[in-house]
Amino acid sequence: MQIHMWWLDLDVRSKEWLRENLRAEEIPLNVMQNIAEAGGPHPASVEGVLTEADWDFIETQSEFVD
């Protein structure tokens, strides 16, 4: 599922962590679990939790006022 479909349902603390750690190599387990709970990719996916397009969205399209 594309990030814009689940981003609004992601908790604010996870959003803040993603913004502050843009393109991080490793994402904490609690953030990955929150992404999955919001409807995003499951942490067990082989290709990783976030794609380059997801990171681009976080960097350019996500709003800081959630």
pLDDT of residue 46: 42
**Given a cut of 90, is residue 12 above it in pLDDT?**
yes
pLDDT tens digit string along 13-52? Answer: 999 999 999 999 889 999 999 999 999 988 775 456 799 9
Sequence-distant (6+) residues with CB within 8 A of 50 are: 3, 18, 27, 35, 41, 58
Token pair for 57: 């969205």
Query: Computed from CA positions of residues 52, 22, 2, 42, in that sequence, does the dihedral angle turn out positive or negative?
Result: positive
**Given a cut of 90, is residue 59 above it in pLDDT?**
yes
If you ran DSSP here, which 8-state letter would residue 21 be given? Answer: T
Sequence-distant (6+) residues with CB within 8 A of 5 are: 39
